[in-house]
Amino acid sequence: MLKCPDIPSTAAFRDSVYSVVAAIPRGKVMSYGQISDLVDAPGHARLVGHVLSGAPAIYPCHRVVNSVGRTVPGWPEQRQLLEKEGVGFKSNGHVDMKRFRWDPTQLPDIFM
């Protein structure tokens, strides 16, 4: 099997993604693309989604949405979990990313 040089190694990438997701505070969300940028794999948002689809339940994967705030299709519990944490949604059903998107790069020494 050929491996593209820009695709990160599976174990290291997975562990990095899990580390970021574990740090997302209650009441905040991140996008798949935001996570891929933080783990030095820009452009691999779909790979982040793939990793999270098999993540153990100890990780708050419900706090990850797409770049416009859309939740995972076929997972209505995701919205319920987010609402319980105080995350607000716009009238179109998307998370209000301006208010609830977490930007860990504004904090010192986190993921840098």
What is the CATH classification number for the domain harbouring 95?
1.10.10.10
Does residue 100 fall inside a structural domain? yes
**What's the pTM value of the predicted model, to 2 decimals?**
0.87
pLDDT tens for 13-71 read 899 999 999 999 999 999 999 999 999 999 999 999 999 999 999 999 999 999 999 99
* CB distance 71 to 65 below 8 Å: yes
Distance (Å, whole) CA 101 – CA 30: 6
* CB distance 19 to 54 below 8 Å: no
pLDDT tens for 70-81 read 999 999 999 999
pLDDT at 105: 79
**Spatial CB neighbours of 105, under 8 Å, sequence gap ≥ 6:** 38, 111, 112
Does residue 90 fall inside a structural domain? yes
Domain of 53, in residue numbers: 10-106
Does residue 3 fall inside a structural domain? no
94 or 7, greater pLDDT: 94
Q: Around Cβ 111, how many Cβ atoms within 10 Å?
A: 15
* CB distance 64 to 29 below 8 Å: yes
Does residue 87 fall inside a structural domain? yes
Does residue 5 fall inside a structural domain? no
Distance (Å, whole) CA 65 – CA 16: 17
Sorting pLDDT into bands at 50, 70 and 90, what band is 89?
very high
Does residue 4 fall inside a structural domain? no
* CB distance 33 to 45 below 8 Å: yes
Does residue 111 fall inside a structural domain? no
Distance (Å, whole) CA 88 – CA 39: 27
At 12, phi and psi to the nearest 5? -65, -40
* Number of structural domains in the chain: 1
